[in-house]
A = this chain, B = another copy of it.
Amino acid sequence: MAVEADSEQESSAYDRLMERVTKLNNVGNAAGILSWDQQVMMPDEGTPARSQQLSTLSSIQHDILTAEETGELLDAAESEDLTDEQAAAVREVRRDYERQTSVPNNLVTEISETTSEALPAWKEAKAESDFETFAPYLEKLLDLKRQYAEHIDPDRDPYEVLFEDFEPCLPLDQAEEILADVREQLVPMIEEIRESDTELAVDTFHGEFPADEQEALVRDALDTLGYPWERGRLDTAPHPFSSGTQFDARVTTRFDESDPIGALMSTIHEFGHATYTLGLPDEHYGTPLGESRDLSVHESQSRLWENHVGRSKAFWELFLPTFQDHFPSTADASVEDAYEAANQVFEDNLIRVEADELTYHMHILVRFEIERELLSGDLAVEDVPEAWNDKYEEYLGIRPENDAEGCLQDIHWSHGSFGYFPTYSLGSIMASQLYDAASEDIDDLEGKVRAGEFDPLREWLRENVHQHGARYETNDLVREATGEEFTADYFLDYVTAKYGDLYDLDAA
């Protein structure tokens, strides 16, 4: 063992810490493949073994991170003379270490066991549209998650602590201000759209569009956007997602035979996530410098490609002929028709995952506000359905008629994921700011999109966002990339102009 001792003396604590973190991330990335496989490839009856495999990998990750040796290496690395990059990598590990070592193992186990029971209970409650069946599980998970937050920081609002599991380096009060700005401006805008007589040209894009042909279409779209198949693949999954590493970032999609634009936008969304992952530096694989920043930033990348590229008129000028090749029934549609179909506001839609670019944020805000009140104790679990429905009426002018379409629609509570939703909206908002900055830096970006030249945009994103990994915290990353503080202004300007034009609104 003399050889090992020697090599330990030679390498710095920083190097040894990164080696340990890479091991941790190798286990996490292995679990990522197992999870991808479970959703995309695994035969139906594989679940019992797969659950055990994933649970074992998760406990191994936890053991590696929370081991004494990790703490010692962190202490030692922090006292070394580190570059800014190295210091950032250590900061990221320290944050995870502090959080995971604060929470007792038996609480982690109890949360995990409770979510295992809560998931089928939620499924049953949703199928029967009966919130009461699910209420005791929600109650218990809220209680456990309050305990969890208290272990991490007993002096802070538990929601704030939980939010950091998904967005660890963007202050909640800042996020809240941004979301308030959005609510203030979007609620009246949505109301005006509901009341407007404008009818968008969408009929041509509804009908029967076979899944096989939709798959060929979205593969063409990925080719057009420059998805590198040598580092990725496309499959179908019930709930589309993207996962992987910079060496292998896969996307999934799904097909609704009545809605080819839905599949296309969903695919471009996942392409955006994958493009971020693929832009992480190869040489930092396994360390924080080769891992993505958190969920808001990730969502900014998917939303930028989906909304600012995929739903733009320039993109449809480029892509409509390909679309029409696949679906000759749309041969008479104009670019304007396609653009309108891709940007229709669904005024009566109650379901988040089917929402348009505008009303989407109201779905997020409803859950955000309800979660905050639940965790603070201001709202009782039994009162959730009514509070939920009231908010839908207030923000969207529609009232769910049952719990399945209302507060039971999303799976996240059964996972105990409180604090997750705001990152969806924050990502969209950030996307607008980043796209505006890219438009400033890239000569005639719109023209380039129209010409199918996506390299400049991808390179801009790589240089300003992707290549940094988790080096910068969220606000610093936005400031470095755009020269400004993170703000809702660009998003609000964008939707005001876009929807004002589409629906002839007064505000535009």
Give the interface segment out of A22-30, A411-419, A471-479, A482-490: A22-30
Of residues A22, A31, A46, A231, which shows the largest number of chain B Cβ atoms within 10 Å of its Cβ?
A46
Complex contacts, A23 vs chain B, CB 8 Å: 56
Q: Give the residues in chain B near A33, CB-CB below 8 Å.
A: 33-34, 37, 53
A421 nearest CB across to chain B (Å): 31
Instruction: Report the minimum CB–CB distance from A356 to chain B (whole Å).
Output: 33
Contact with B along A4-34 (1 / 0, CB 8 A): 1000000000000000001100110111011
Nearest chain B CB to A45 CB, angstrom units? 5
Inter-chain CA distance A26–B58, complex, in Å, is 11
**A44 neighbours in B (Cβ, 8 Å):** 230-231
Given that A37-B33, A52-B285, A285-B52 are contacting pairs, would A230 and B60 also be in contact in the complex, using a CB cutoff of 8 Å? no
A50 located at the interface, meaning its Cβ lies under 8 Å from any Cβ of chain B in the complex: yes
The smallest beta-carbon distance between A278 and chain B, in angstroms, is 10
A165 to chain B, nearest CB (A): 24
CA distance A282 to B250 in the complex (A): 32
Contacting residues, chain B, for A26 (C-beta < 8 A): 52-53, 55-57
Tell me the minimal C-beta distance from A274 to chain B in angstroms: 11
Inter-chain contact A49/B29, CB cutoff 8 Å:
yes
Contact partner of A50 (CB less than 8 A), chosen from B3, B232, B248, is B248
- Would you list which residues of chain A between 234 and 284 have a CB under 8 Å from chain B? 245-248, 250, 282
CB 8 Å contact bits of A47-85 with B (1 = contact, 0 = none): 111101101110010000000000000000000000000
Nearest-Cβ distance from residue A449 to partner chain B, whole angstroms: 26
Complex Cα gap A228–B34 (Å): 21
A408 CB to closest chain B CB (Å) equals: 29
| Chain A residues within CB distance 8 Å of chain B | 1, 3-4, 22-23, 26-27, 29-31, 33-34, 37, 41-50, 52-53, 55-57, 60, 105-106, 228-233, 245-248, 250, 282, 285-286
- The residue on B at minimum CB distance from A27 is B56
Most buried by B among A22, A60, A282: A60
Q: State in angstroms the CA–CA spacing of A105 and B4 once bound together.
A: 10
Given contacts A30-B30, A45-B230, contact A52 B286 (CB under 8 A): yes
Total copies of this chain within the assembly: 2
A229 to B46, CA, bound (A): 11
A262 CB to closest chain B CB (Å) equals 26
Q: Give A59 Cβ to nearest chain B Cβ, in Å.
A: 8
CB contacts (< 8 Å) of A57 on chain B: these are 26-27, 30
- Interface core residue of A31, A33, A105 (most chain B CB under 10 Å): A33
Give the CA-CA distance A47 to B29 in the complex, in Å. Answer: 13
Other-chain contact of A230, B43, B229, B282, B286 (Cβ < 8 Å): B43
A104 to chain B, nearest CB (A): 8
In contact, A56 and B30 (Cβ under 8 angstroms): yes
- Contact partners of A247 in chain B: CB under 8 A: 45-50
- Pairs of residues from A and B, 4 with the lowest C-beta to C-beta distance, nearest first: A46-B248, A26-B56, A49-B247, A26-B53
How far apart sit A30 and B166, CA to CA, in the bound complex (Å)?
A: 26
27 residue pairs bridging A and B, Cβ less than 8 Å apart: A4-B106, A26-B53, A27-B53, A27-B56, A27-B60, A30-B30, A30-B31, A30-B53, A33-B33, A33-B34, A33-B53, A37-B37, A41-B41, A42-B248, A43-B229, A43-B230, A43-B233, A43-B248, A43-B250, A45-B230, A45-B231, A45-B247, A49-B247, A50-B247, A50-B248, A52-B286, A60-B60
